[in-house]
């Protein structure tokens, strides 16, 4: 069986975890946590980065930081993971969905302006498959209408748009270190990226249960106390130790994934030329991180048949997302602006192929040959 995913593991994570166990401190914001956060500040050029237990939590922090009020409207694509929307629904927001661009599966930035009202508070672009949205257009709209931009860059670590790292272009950004992403902090984890210094102080307080404990530890105040709303948004040192092993090897992991992605692209290009499938398109302005290799087939029936065929051949291909506006909860709390021209139709065609750090060329070739076999027999 070729699994869909294997959690990234380089080897050095093990020793780092043992070091934490021997250190007598395993709670959050320890040595590895600080080391990871500094690595991100250096690598991203962000003003502040805060590790969180998940990307979901980083998005929840973002919603608190921009002070979302009941009835505020948040613009995003419907083709995304549930947390993109939930973080804002938790604060009472109304979610406004805009159609995607079928060539990238990202929000179509040209459709955003028509969705803006006087209640609009923020735009949340999702960089699907680690391929950047049209951030020039989105930032220009945000400036014109005084909106916040929160980048859901859960899949986007190490990717760039016009040379800028994803997650560093909007006011706030969020990464995920879930085991299915390119880098993991031991299964679950995330990062809040702060690009606007106005948010730094309050972000630290919200993350520390609404207290000014971070300032206390830095000697800036002489006691710590409850000053704001908040929650516990710190990962443990054990998670940070795992993540540090990945960050030390970030380029190794990136290059390995990129070469696997390239191999898929070159092995499957004949099927694309023959019109059987569509492969991912990387716009000129984007440098991607090979988060995902997907193919799109003719329709839902063909996707189901091909997934069954691959399963029979022991290949763990999968599909996702059911568009949020068609989900039971989404139907109550969200609305789709204008026409759903591509979101539903394109989501039904998409298949994600196995891709992880260390997948062999032999495995990729076998998967590609099996897909060719399917199209040759039908």
Ligand X SMILES: *Cc1c(COP(=O)(O)O)cnc(C)c1O
Shortest distance (Å) from residue 82 CB to ligand X? 8
Closest C-alpha among 151, 194, 250 to residue 46: 194
Task: Round to whole Å and give the CA distance between 114 and 330.
Answer: 21
The nearer residue to ligand X, 225 or 232, going by C-beta atoms, is 232
CA angle at 77 for the pair 96 and 99, rounded to the nearest 5°: 90
The nearer residue to ligand X, 3 or 71, going by C-beta atoms, is 3
Decide: is 125 part of the binding site for ligand X (CB under 6 A): no
The nearer residue to ligand X, 55 or 112, going by C-beta atoms, is 55
Decide: is 183 part of the binding site for ligand X (CB under 6 A): no
Decide: is 79 part of the binding site for ligand X (CB under 6 A): no
Shortest distance (Å) from residue 321 CB to ligand X? 9
The nearer residue to ligand X, 129 or 241, going by C-beta atoms, is 129
The nearer residue to ligand X, 178 or 296, going by C-beta atoms, is 178
Decide: is 185 part of the binding site for ligand X (CB under 6 A): no
Task: Round to whole Å and give the CA distance between 288 and 265.
Answer: 14
Shortest distance (Å) from residue 176 CB to ligand X? 3
Decide: is 56 part of the binding site for ligand X (CB under 6 A): yes
CA angle at 111 for the pair 106 and 114, rounded to the nearest 5°: 145
Decide: is 99 part of the binding site for ligand X (CB under 6 A): no
Shortest distance (Å) from residue 319 CB to ligand X? 14
Decide: is 159 part of the binding site for ligand X (CB under 6 A): no
Shortest distance (Å) from residue 18 CB to ligand X? 25
Contact 206, 61 (CB under 8 A): yes
Decide: is 78 part of the binding site for ligand X (CB under 6 A): no
Task: Round to whole Å and give the CA distance between 328 and 257.
Answer: 36
Please, which of residues 208-267 interact with ligand X by CB under 6 A? none
Task: Round to whole Å and give the CA distance between 261 and 294.
Answer: 10
Tell me how many helices (H) and strands (E) the chain has.
Answer: 13, 15
CA angle at 337 for the pair 148 and 140, rounded to the nearest 5°: 35
Q: Of residues 37, 54, 254, 347, which one binds ligand X by CB under 6 A? A: 54
Q: Is 276 helix (H, G, I), strand (E, B) or coil?
A: coil
The nearer residue to ligand X, 56 or 236, going by C-beta atoms, is 56
Read off the tokens for 366.
């076998």
Q: Of residues 108, 176, 249, 302, which one binds ligand X by CB under 6 A? A: 176
Read off the tokens for 12.
């050095």
Closest C-alpha among 267, 327, 329 to residue 89: 329
Residues in contact with ligand X by CB under 6 A are: 54-56, 80-81, 83-84, 126, 152, 154-155, 176, 178, 190
């Amino acid at each position: 069986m070729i699994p869909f995913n294997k959690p990234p593991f380089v080897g050095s994570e093990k020793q780092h975890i043992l070091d934490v166990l021997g250190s007598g401190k395993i709670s959050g914001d320890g040595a590895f946590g600080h080391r990871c956060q500094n690595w991100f500040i250096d690598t991203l050029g962000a003003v502040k980065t805060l590790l969180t237990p998940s990307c979901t939590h980083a998005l929840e922090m973002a919603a608190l930081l921009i002070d979302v009020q009941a009835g505020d409207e948040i613009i995003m694509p419907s083709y995304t993971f549930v947390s993109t929307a939930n973080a804002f629904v938790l604060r009472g927001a109304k979610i406004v969905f805009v159609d995607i661009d079928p060539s990238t599966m990202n929000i179509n930035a040209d459709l955003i302006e028509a969705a803006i009202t006087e209640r609009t508070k923020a735009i949340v672009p999702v960089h699907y498959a680690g391929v950047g949205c049209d951030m020039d257009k989105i930032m220009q709209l945000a400036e014109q209408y005084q909106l916040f931009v929160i980048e859901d860059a859960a899949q986007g670590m190490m990717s760039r748009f016009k040379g800028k790292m994803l997650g560093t272009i909007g006011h706030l950004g969020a990464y995920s270190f879930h085991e299915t992403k390119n880098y993991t902090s031991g299964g679950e984890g995330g990062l809040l990226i702060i690009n606007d210094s106005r948010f730094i102080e309050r972000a630290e307080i919200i993350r520390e249960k609404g207290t000014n404990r971070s300032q206390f530890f830095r000697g800036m105040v002489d006691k710590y106390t409850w000053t704001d709303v908040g929650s516990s948004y710190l990962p443990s040192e054990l998670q940070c130790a795992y993540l540090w092993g990945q960050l030390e090897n970030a380029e190794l992991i990136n290059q390995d994934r990129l070469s696997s992605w390239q191999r898929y692209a070159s092995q499957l290009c004949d099927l694309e030329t023959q019109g059987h499938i569509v492969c991912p398109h990387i716009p000129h302005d984007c440098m991607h991180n090979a988060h995902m290799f997907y193919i799109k087939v003719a329709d839902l029936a063909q996707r189901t048949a091909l997934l069954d065929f691959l399963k029979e051949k022991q290949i763990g291909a999968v599909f996702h997302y059911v568009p949020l506006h068609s989900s039971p909860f989404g139907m109550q709390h969200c609305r789709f602006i204008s026409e759903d021209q591509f979101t539903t139709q394109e989501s039904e065609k998409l298949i994600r192929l196995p891709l992880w750090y260390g997948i062999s060329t032999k495995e990729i070739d076998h998967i590609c040959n099996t897909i060719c076999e399917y199209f040759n027999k039908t």
